[in-house]
């Protein structure tokens, strides 16, 4: 078993894609835990529907960031998690959390990093006038969307696109790419040489 924790703050569409890949036997790991910082996140409803253990760890419930971090780390460690998957988790992880799980945290971002990091990446790309955008899965480090890049998918930006059109097209690729990367990690096919990610068999 390769236990995975998914951290999500919102609707959980990437969580749903991971769950469906697991049900199809394509993930090669098990989603053992879903954590949200938002008690109203639809991702929690999806976890409950599929019988996945889930927990709310809400910053407002703690006196400071340090105790919030302690609770998050303890919860993950108690479930013996091997991989932490950020799926629309709208809170930057602190250096303390990242150092507790070195090279065990991945994120998906809706642009071709290093272009357009941060929030509203799809609109950033659309306003800039690029002809192609896409999504990036990367290891999480202490910067914002700066960790080593594992894989990317490219989508065209069409002449009549709105930011919402582009976001929808990118999201479709996210749902294909994220389960694939999780599978590679579960199979032990990914290694790092400096910032370069090596994928065996690709």
Catalytic residues: 109
- Across 34-47, b (16+ Cβ under 10 Å) vs e yields bbbbbeebbbbebb
Q: SS3 for 30? A: strand
C-alpha to C-alpha distances, 23 to 13, 26, 179, 187, nearest whole angstrom: 15, 8, 12, 17
**How does DSSP assign 71-100, residue by residue?**
HHHHHHHHTT-SEEEESS--SPPPHHHHHH
The pairing of beta strand 149-156 with beta strand 30-36: unpaired
Q: Quick one: tokens of 100?
A: 């507790």
Give dist(CA 167, CA 121) in Å, integer.
9
């Amino acid at each position: 078993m390769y236990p995975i924790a998914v951290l999500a703050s919102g609707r959980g569409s990437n969580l749903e894609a991971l769950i469906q890949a697991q049900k199809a036997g394509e993930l090669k790991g098990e989603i053992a835990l879903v954590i949200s910082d938002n008690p109203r996140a639809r991702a929690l409803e999806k976890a409950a529907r599929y019988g996945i253990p889930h927990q709310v760890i809400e910053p407002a419930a703690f006196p400071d960031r340090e105790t919030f971090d302690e609770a998050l780390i303890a919860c993950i460690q108690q479930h013996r998690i091997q991989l932490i998957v950020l799926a629309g988790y709208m809170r930057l992880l602190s250096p303390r959390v990242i150092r507790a799980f070195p090279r065990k945290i991945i994120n998906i971002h809706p642009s071709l990093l290093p272009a357009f990091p941060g929030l509203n990446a799809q609109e950033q790309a659309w306003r800039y006038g690029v002809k192609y955008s896409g999504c990036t899965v990367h290891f999480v480090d202490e910067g914002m969307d700066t960790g080593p890049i594992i894989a990317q998918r490219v989508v065209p930006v069409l002449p009549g696109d709105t930011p919402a059109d582009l976001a929808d097209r990118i999201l479709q690729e996210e749902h294909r790419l994220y389960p694939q990367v999780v599978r590679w990690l579960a199979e032990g096919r990914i290694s790092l040489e400096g910032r370069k990610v090596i994928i065996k068999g690709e």
